[in-house]
């Protein structure tokens, strides 16, 4: 992971973390068969618990890396359009803040 952050520090881009609750992330997961065809899958209670545990584990693992991002956007419960508008709004605020700091 340190190589990744060294590379990011060299770039002049903006890093954005999209944050959502594990339960909402699980709702957006899609499954595919061995031929990469999308399949409809209803998760059992055990499968649901497994995936939620795995998602939460990933969120905890990456949390320290996420703290280094320029912008955090909480998209909990938002659809794709609402999420993109919120990201746009956060970017505009970020640029406005950077512009004011330079003046």
What per-residue confidence (pLDDT) applies to 1? 58
Distance in Å from the first CA to the final CA of the chain: 35
Nearest to 70 by CA among 83, 56, 87, 82: 87
Q: Is residue 103 over pLDDT 70?
A: no
What total of structural domains would you count in the chain?
1
* Higher local confidence (pLDDT), 49 or 9: 49
* Higher local confidence (pLDDT), 99 or 72: 72
Indicate the pTM of the whole model: 0.72
Domain residue limits at 53 = 2-102
Q: What would the pLDDT profile of 23-62 be if each residue is shown by its tens digit?
A: 999 998 999 999 999 999 999 999 999 999 999 999 999 9
Angstrom distance (rounded) from CA 29 to CA 48: 11
Q: What is the DSSP letter of 75?
A: -
Give Cα 89 distance to the centre of its chain. Answer: 16
């Amino acid at each position: 992971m340190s190589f990744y952050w060294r590379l990011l520090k060299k770039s002049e881009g903006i890093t954005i973390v999209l944050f959502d609750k594990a339960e909402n992330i699980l709702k957006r997961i899609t499954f595919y068969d061995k031929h990469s065809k999308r399949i409809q899958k209803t998760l059992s209670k055990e499968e649901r618990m497994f995936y939620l545990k795995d998602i939460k584990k990933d969120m905890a693992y990456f949390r320290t890396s996420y703290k280094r991002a320029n912008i955090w956007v909480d998209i909990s419960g938002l659809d794709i359009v609402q999420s993109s508008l919120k990201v746009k709004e956060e970017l505009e605020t970020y640029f406005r803040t950077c512009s004011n700091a330079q003046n």
